[in-house]
Amino acid sequence: MKLLRGESAQLLKDRGIVATIGNFDGVHLGHQELLRTLKERAEQFNLPMAVILFEPQPREYFNKTSSCARLSSLREKLDNLKNCAVDVVYCLRFNRKMAEMSASTFAHDFLFTKLNVKLLLVGEDFRFGKNREGDTLLLRAVAQEYNAQVEIFENFNIHGERISSTSIRNALSVGDLTQAALGMGRPYHICGRVIHGNKRGREWGIPTANLALNRSEVALRGVFVVQVVLSSGAKLFGVANIGRRPTIDGNKLILEVHLFDFADNIYGEFIQVIFLHKIRDEVKFSSLETLIAQIHQDIQVAKEFVTNLTISQCGGSNG
Protein backbone atom coordinates (compact mmCIF):
# COMPACT_ATOMS: atom_id res chain seq x y z
CA MET A 1 0.00 0.00 0.00
CA LYS A 2 1.31 3.44 -0.96
CA LEU A 3 0.86 6.51 1.24
CA LEU A 4 0.81 9.73 -0.76
CA ARG A 5 0.69 13.35 0.38
CA GLY A 6 0.75 16.79 -1.21
CA GLU A 7 1.93 16.99 -4.80
CA SER A 8 2.53 13.25 -4.96
CA ALA A 9 -1.14 13.09 -6.01
CA GLN A 10 0.22 13.67 -9.52
CA LEU A 11 1.24 10.01 -9.52
CA LEU A 12 -2.45 9.05 -9.61
CA LYS A 13 -3.58 11.35 -12.39
CA ASP A 14 -2.35 9.50 -15.48
CA ARG A 15 -4.30 6.27 -14.98
CA GLY A 16 -7.01 7.51 -12.68
CA ILE A 17 -8.36 5.81 -9.55
CA VAL A 18 -11.43 4.24 -8.04
CA ALA A 19 -11.78 5.98 -4.69
CA THR A 20 -13.65 6.70 -1.51
CA ILE A 21 -13.24 9.61 0.89
CA GLY A 22 -13.84 10.01 4.60
CA ASN A 23 -12.36 9.78 8.10
CA PHE A 24 -12.42 5.97 8.37
CA ASP A 25 -11.91 6.31 12.11
CA GLY A 26 -11.54 2.80 13.53
CA VAL A 27 -12.01 1.12 10.11
CA HIS A 28 -15.05 -0.67 11.52
CA LEU A 29 -17.23 -3.32 9.86
CA GLY A 30 -19.17 -0.71 7.91
CA HIS A 31 -15.93 0.69 6.52
CA GLN A 32 -14.67 -2.82 5.77
CA GLU A 33 -17.81 -3.67 3.79
CA LEU A 34 -17.53 -0.40 1.83
CA LEU A 35 -13.89 -1.21 1.04
CA ARG A 36 -14.82 -4.71 -0.15
CA THR A 37 -17.33 -3.14 -2.54
CA LEU A 38 -14.74 -0.60 -3.67
CA LYS A 39 -12.20 -3.36 -4.33
CA GLU A 40 -14.66 -5.14 -6.60
CA ARG A 41 -15.27 -1.93 -8.54
CA ALA A 42 -11.52 -1.24 -8.80
CA GLU A 43 -10.98 -4.69 -10.29
CA GLN A 44 -13.79 -4.10 -12.78
CA PHE A 45 -12.21 -0.79 -13.82
CA ASN A 46 -8.68 -2.26 -13.68
CA LEU A 47 -7.60 0.78 -11.66
CA PRO A 48 -5.95 1.31 -8.26
CA MET A 49 -8.24 1.36 -5.22
CA ALA A 50 -7.66 4.56 -3.25
CA VAL A 51 -8.81 5.97 0.08
CA ILE A 52 -8.70 9.75 0.55
CA LEU A 53 -8.19 10.87 4.16
CA PHE A 54 -7.96 14.20 5.94
CA GLU A 55 -5.37 14.98 8.65
CA PRO A 56 -6.29 16.36 11.03
CA GLN A 57 -9.85 15.11 10.79
CA PRO A 58 -12.17 18.06 10.00
CA ARG A 59 -13.93 17.80 13.36
CA GLU A 60 -10.56 18.06 15.10
CA TYR A 61 -9.66 21.14 13.07
CA PHE A 62 -12.88 22.97 13.91
CA ASN A 63 -12.97 21.90 17.59
CA LYS A 64 -9.37 22.21 18.75
CA THR A 65 -10.28 22.67 22.43
CA SER A 66 -12.84 19.86 22.65
CA SER A 67 -11.88 17.41 19.93
CA CYS A 68 -13.80 14.17 19.60
CA ALA A 69 -12.01 11.07 20.85
CA ARG A 70 -10.34 9.15 18.07
CA LEU A 71 -10.84 5.42 17.73
CA SER A 72 -7.53 5.07 15.91
CA SER A 73 -4.37 7.05 15.33
CA LEU A 74 -3.24 7.65 11.76
CA ARG A 75 -0.73 4.80 12.04
CA GLU A 76 -3.40 2.38 13.31
CA LYS A 77 -5.76 3.52 10.58
CA LEU A 78 -3.17 2.94 7.88
CA ASP A 79 -2.44 -0.56 9.22
CA ASN A 80 -6.14 -1.42 9.12
CA LEU A 81 -6.56 -0.03 5.60
CA LYS A 82 -3.59 -2.09 4.43
CA ASN A 83 -5.30 -5.17 5.85
CA CYS A 84 -8.32 -4.30 3.70
CA ALA A 85 -6.19 -4.53 0.53
CA VAL A 86 -6.24 -0.79 -0.19
CA ASP A 87 -3.73 0.11 -2.92
CA VAL A 88 -3.25 3.80 -2.21
CA VAL A 89 -4.01 6.17 0.65
CA TYR A 90 -3.89 9.87 -0.21
CA CYS A 91 -3.60 11.86 3.01
CA LEU A 92 -4.78 15.41 2.51
CA ARG A 93 -3.84 18.10 5.02
CA PHE A 94 -6.99 19.77 6.36
CA ASN A 95 -6.11 23.41 6.92
CA ARG A 96 -7.68 26.84 6.60
CA LYS A 97 -7.50 26.77 2.80
CA MET A 98 -9.27 23.41 2.71
CA ALA A 99 -11.89 24.52 5.25
CA GLU A 100 -12.75 27.56 3.10
CA MET A 101 -12.89 25.67 -0.21
CA SER A 102 -16.34 25.39 -1.76
CA ALA A 103 -17.76 21.95 -2.42
CA SER A 104 -17.89 22.64 -6.16
CA THR A 105 -14.23 23.68 -6.30
CA PHE A 106 -13.16 20.64 -4.29
CA ALA A 107 -15.06 18.27 -6.57
CA HIS A 108 -13.93 19.92 -9.83
CA ASP A 109 -10.32 20.81 -9.08
CA PHE A 110 -9.33 18.11 -6.64
CA LEU A 111 -11.39 14.93 -7.04
CA PHE A 112 -12.03 14.79 -10.76
CA THR A 113 -9.04 16.79 -12.08
CA LYS A 114 -6.06 16.46 -9.75
CA LEU A 115 -6.79 12.87 -8.68
CA ASN A 116 -8.64 11.86 -11.85
CA VAL A 117 -11.26 9.86 -9.96
CA LYS A 118 -13.14 7.58 -12.34
CA LEU A 119 -15.52 6.18 -9.74
CA LEU A 120 -16.21 7.58 -6.28
CA LEU A 121 -17.98 5.47 -3.64
CA VAL A 122 -19.32 7.38 -0.62
CA GLY A 123 -21.79 6.87 2.22
CA GLU A 124 -25.34 8.08 1.79
CA ASP A 125 -24.87 10.87 4.37
CA PHE A 126 -21.55 12.12 2.94
CA ARG A 127 -21.12 15.91 3.11
CA PHE A 128 -18.14 18.02 2.10
CA GLY A 129 -16.87 21.50 1.27
CA LYS A 130 -17.23 24.81 3.09
CA ASN A 131 -20.06 24.66 5.64
CA ARG A 132 -20.65 21.06 4.49
CA GLU A 133 -22.59 22.43 1.53
CA GLY A 134 -21.72 19.57 -0.83
CA ASP A 135 -23.70 16.34 -1.04
CA THR A 136 -24.07 13.32 -3.29
CA LEU A 137 -26.32 15.21 -5.72
CA LEU A 138 -23.58 17.77 -6.33
CA LEU A 139 -20.96 15.03 -6.66
CA ARG A 140 -23.00 13.24 -9.32
CA ALA A 141 -23.61 16.44 -11.26
CA VAL A 142 -19.90 17.29 -11.34
CA ALA A 143 -18.87 13.70 -12.10
CA GLN A 144 -20.96 13.71 -15.26
CA GLU A 145 -18.83 16.56 -16.63
CA TYR A 146 -15.75 14.32 -16.37
CA ASN A 147 -17.40 11.09 -17.56
CA ALA A 148 -16.94 9.71 -14.05
CA GLN A 149 -19.33 7.87 -11.76
CA VAL A 150 -20.52 8.36 -8.18
CA GLU A 151 -22.04 5.43 -6.30
CA ILE A 152 -23.72 5.47 -2.90
CA PHE A 153 -22.94 2.89 -0.23
CA GLU A 154 -25.93 2.26 2.02
CA ASN A 155 -25.58 2.30 5.80
CA PHE A 156 -24.23 -0.95 7.24
CA ASN A 157 -26.40 -2.51 9.97
CA ILE A 158 -26.06 -5.38 12.42
CA HIS A 159 -29.29 -6.61 14.04
CA GLY A 160 -31.00 -3.48 12.77
CA GLU A 161 -28.44 -1.12 14.34
CA ARG A 162 -26.31 1.12 12.14
CA ILE A 163 -22.58 0.59 12.62
CA SER A 164 -20.70 3.88 12.82
CA SER A 165 -17.64 5.37 14.48
CA THR A 166 -19.98 7.35 16.73
CA SER A 167 -21.85 4.25 17.94
CA ILE A 168 -18.57 2.48 18.70
CA ARG A 169 -17.22 5.55 20.47
CA ASN A 170 -20.37 5.67 22.59
CA ALA A 171 -19.99 2.00 23.52
CA LEU A 172 -16.38 2.53 24.57
CA SER A 173 -17.28 5.60 26.62
CA VAL A 174 -19.43 3.42 28.90
CA GLY A 175 -16.93 0.54 28.93
CA ASP A 176 -18.98 -1.77 26.70
CA LEU A 177 -16.08 -3.54 25.02
CA THR A 178 -18.31 -6.33 23.69
CA GLN A 179 -20.53 -3.93 21.74
CA ALA A 180 -17.52 -2.01 20.47
CA ALA A 181 -15.85 -5.22 19.27
CA LEU A 182 -19.08 -6.26 17.54
CA GLY A 183 -19.06 -3.06 15.51
CA MET A 184 -15.34 -3.09 14.77
CA GLY A 185 -15.07 -6.77 13.94
CA ARG A 186 -12.19 -7.12 16.41
CA PRO A 187 -11.41 -6.18 20.03
CA TYR A 188 -10.59 -2.53 20.55
CA HIS A 189 -6.89 -1.81 20.80
CA ILE A 190 -4.44 1.07 21.07
CA CYS A 191 -0.91 1.03 19.69
CA GLY A 192 1.97 3.14 20.92
CA ARG A 193 5.64 3.38 21.69
CA VAL A 194 6.81 2.62 25.20
CA ILE A 195 8.27 5.76 26.81
CA HIS A 196 10.01 6.54 30.08
CA GLY A 197 7.64 7.53 32.89
CA ASN A 198 8.19 8.75 36.43
CA LYS A 199 9.15 5.22 37.60
CA ARG A 200 6.70 5.37 40.53
CA GLY A 201 5.17 2.02 39.64
CA ARG A 202 8.61 0.42 39.85
CA GLU A 203 9.12 1.98 43.30
CA TRP A 204 5.84 0.37 44.41
CA GLY A 205 6.85 -3.02 43.03
CA ILE A 206 4.34 -2.66 40.17
CA PRO A 207 6.40 -1.67 37.09
CA THR A 208 4.45 -0.33 34.13
CA ALA A 209 5.03 0.26 30.44
CA ASN A 210 3.84 3.78 29.59
CA LEU A 211 2.60 4.49 26.07
CA ALA A 212 2.75 7.73 24.15
CA LEU A 213 -0.86 8.17 22.98
CA ASN A 214 -0.22 10.95 20.43
CA ARG A 215 -3.82 12.13 20.69
CA SER A 216 -5.58 14.70 22.86
CA GLU A 217 -8.51 12.46 23.79
CA VAL A 218 -9.32 8.77 23.95
CA ALA A 219 -12.60 6.91 23.65
CA LEU A 220 -12.37 4.96 26.90
CA ARG A 221 -11.11 5.54 30.44
CA GLY A 222 -10.52 3.36 33.45
CA VAL A 223 -8.78 0.15 34.50
CA PHE A 224 -8.86 -2.85 32.16
CA VAL A 225 -7.68 -6.41 31.67
CA VAL A 226 -5.53 -6.31 28.53
CA GLN A 227 -3.47 -8.46 26.24
CA VAL A 228 -0.29 -6.88 24.91
CA VAL A 229 1.37 -7.83 21.65
CA LEU A 230 5.09 -7.01 21.57
CA SER A 231 6.98 -6.20 18.38
CA SER A 232 8.40 -9.75 18.53
CA GLY A 233 4.85 -11.11 18.28
CA ALA A 234 4.89 -12.35 21.88
CA LYS A 235 1.51 -11.99 23.65
CA LEU A 236 1.27 -11.17 27.34
CA PHE A 237 -1.60 -10.42 29.70
CA GLY A 238 -1.73 -7.53 32.10
CA VAL A 239 -3.75 -4.77 33.69
CA ALA A 240 -3.88 -1.26 32.25
CA ASN A 241 -4.99 2.16 33.38
CA ILE A 242 -5.92 4.79 30.83
CA GLY A 243 -6.61 8.29 32.10
CA ARG A 244 -4.95 11.18 33.90
CA ARG A 245 -3.99 9.50 37.20
CA PRO A 246 -5.84 12.00 39.44
CA THR A 247 -4.32 10.68 42.67
CA ILE A 248 -0.81 11.52 41.43
CA ASP A 249 -1.01 14.52 39.10
CA GLY A 250 -4.31 14.62 37.23
CA ASN A 251 -2.94 16.33 34.13
CA LYS A 252 -1.35 14.28 31.37
CA LEU A 253 -3.42 11.65 29.58
CA ILE A 254 -1.52 8.36 29.63
CA LEU A 255 -1.89 4.63 29.08
CA GLU A 256 0.16 2.53 31.49
CA VAL A 257 0.27 -1.26 31.47
CA HIS A 258 1.51 -3.68 34.13
CA LEU A 259 2.47 -6.96 32.46
CA PHE A 260 2.19 -10.15 34.50
CA ASP A 261 5.44 -11.99 35.24
CA PHE A 262 7.48 -9.80 32.90
CA ALA A 263 10.63 -7.80 33.62
CA ASP A 264 12.30 -7.22 30.22
CA ASN A 265 13.31 -3.77 28.99
CA ILE A 266 10.92 -2.72 26.21
CA TYR A 267 11.55 1.06 26.18
CA GLY A 268 11.18 2.40 22.66
CA GLU A 269 9.27 -0.65 21.48
CA PHE A 270 6.02 -0.21 19.54
CA ILE A 271 3.35 -2.40 21.14
CA GLN A 272 -0.35 -3.15 20.78
CA VAL A 273 -2.66 -3.07 23.80
CA ILE A 274 -5.90 -5.06 23.32
CA PHE A 275 -8.69 -4.26 25.80
CA LEU A 276 -10.49 -7.37 27.04
CA HIS A 277 -12.54 -6.40 30.09
CA LYS A 278 -13.21 -3.28 32.15
CA ILE A 279 -12.51 -3.64 35.88
CA ARG A 280 -13.48 -0.20 37.14
CA ASP A 281 -13.47 3.54 36.49
CA GLU A 282 -10.47 5.67 37.28
CA VAL A 283 -10.99 7.51 40.59
CA LYS A 284 -9.03 9.80 42.89
CA PHE A 285 -7.94 8.05 46.09
CA SER A 286 -7.39 9.71 49.45
CA SER A 287 -3.80 8.50 49.72
CA LEU A 288 -1.04 6.72 47.82
CA GLU A 289 -1.38 3.75 50.19
CA THR A 290 -5.03 3.35 49.23
CA LEU A 291 -4.17 3.63 45.54
CA ILE A 292 -1.42 0.99 45.78
CA ALA A 293 -3.74 -1.39 47.64
CA GLN A 294 -6.39 -0.92 44.93
CA ILE A 295 -3.85 -1.60 42.17
CA HIS A 296 -2.91 -4.90 43.79
CA GLN A 297 -6.61 -5.77 43.98
CA ASP A 298 -7.03 -4.84 40.30
CA ILE A 299 -4.15 -7.16 39.41
CA GLN A 300 -5.79 -10.01 41.28
CA VAL A 301 -9.12 -9.42 39.51
CA ALA A 302 -7.33 -9.29 36.16
CA LYS A 303 -5.45 -12.53 36.79
CA GLU A 304 -8.67 -14.31 37.73
CA PHE A 305 -10.28 -13.04 34.52
CA VAL A 306 -7.33 -14.32 32.46
CA THR A 307 -7.48 -17.71 34.20
CA ASN A 308 -11.20 -18.06 33.44
CA LEU A 309 -10.62 -16.87 29.89
CA THR A 310 -7.92 -19.46 29.34
CA ILE A 311 -10.12 -22.23 30.75
CA SER A 312 -13.05 -21.25 28.51
CA GLN A 313 -10.81 -21.13 25.43
CA CYS A 314 -9.60 -24.64 26.24
CA GLY A 315 -13.16 -25.91 26.47
CA GLY A 316 -13.27 -26.14 30.27
CA SER A 317 -11.51 -28.39 32.73
CA ASN A 318 -11.71 -32.18 33.12
CA GLY A 319 -12.56 -32.04 36.81
> What confidence score (pLDDT) does residue 309 get?
83
For residue 103, count other CB atoms closer than 10 A to its CB.
19
For 151-206, the pLDDT digits (tens) are: 999 888 887 788 899 999 999 999 999 999 999 999 999 999 999 877 666 667 78
> The whole model's pTM is what?
0.88
Q: Please say whether the structural domain 2-162 has been given the CATH code 3.40.50.620.
A: yes
For the chain, domain boundaries: 2-162, 188-313
Specify the CATH number of the domain 188-313: 2.40.30.30
For 40-93, the pLDDT digits (tens) are: 999 999 999 999 999 998 888 888 766 678 899 999 999 999 999 999 999 999
For 244-297, the pLDDT digits (tens) are: 876 776 667 889 999 998 988 899 999 999 999 999 998 888 788 889 999 999
Tell me how far apart the alpha carbons of residues 48 and 80 are, in angstroms, rounded to a whole number: 18
